[in-house]
Amino acid sequence: VTIAKPSGKYHHGDLRQALLLAAKQVIEEQGSKSLTLRGVARLAGVSPAAPYRHFIDKNQLLTEVANQGFEELCDDLAVVQERGISDPARRMQALGVAYVLFATKNPAQFRFMFGSDVPVPDPSTSLAQAKQRAFGYLLDSMKECQRIGLVREGNARYFALCSWSMVHGVASLYVDGQLPTLVPEPHAPEEIAALVTATLWSGLFAAHKQSDRSHG
């Protein structure tokens, strides 16, 4: 899919998709503050009014970009899911690491997805549903861990909330560039994600100690 309209042609072909791609590109390269509807139209080689044939307003464009971001996040989580990791504990941890890695690999996009540029959606929208779907991966994995007896009894949604909060908090700190000032040595995202999820894990285990996990 190409962004710029072929010169000399009047109709674009797939302007809607081109605008979404252009918007994502601007976010990645210059941050969401530089994201302008007119600028996006310019990148697509089209007039300032053209986007209004495909989106109600700028907000709808932003919401759709965020939506695609959450779909990508879900894809990453799905890849982990389908890797078929036999140990549910390791799978759970892999999901957390994947979450943090998504943020570190697409920091601008991650900031945007949870930032104040995109308005809070009501639960019926596809954006809200995509968010819930991402949460679902953690939840399912958590339930599986409970079923096998790896995680102690209790409301799985709360446990999943804890798990989600943790990786989300770390990811947020990372993209805000604050991790280096808070923890002593610089660690690779994988390491720090694993370390944090492991720490949570040792709290979820019914067994007494899991020093091998929580330090490895």
Q: Which residues bind a second copy (CB under 8 A)?
A: 31-33, 111-112, 114-117, 120, 123, 128, 131-132, 135, 154-155, 157-162, 164-170, 172-173, 176-179, 181-184, 195-196, 199-204, 208, 214-215
Least spacing, CB of residue 86 vs DNA, in Å: 49
Nearest CA among 34, 42, 36, 45 for reference residue 11: 45
* 80 vs 160, beta carbon nearer a second copy: 160
Beta bridge partners of 205: 151
Provide the Cα torsion 185, 186, 189, 195; round to 10°: 0
Nearest residue (CB) to a second copy, 17 versus 25:
25
User: At its nearest, how many Å lie between a second copy and the CB of residue 131?
Assistant: 6
Least Cβ distance, residue 112 to DNA (angstroms): 14
Q: How far is Cα 213 from Cα 216, in angstroms, rounded to an integer?
A: 5
- Residues 6-45 binding DNA (CB under 7 A) are 10-13, 15, 35-39
Q: Are 112 and 32 in contact (CB under 8 A)?
A: yes
Token pair, residue 89, equals 């504990």
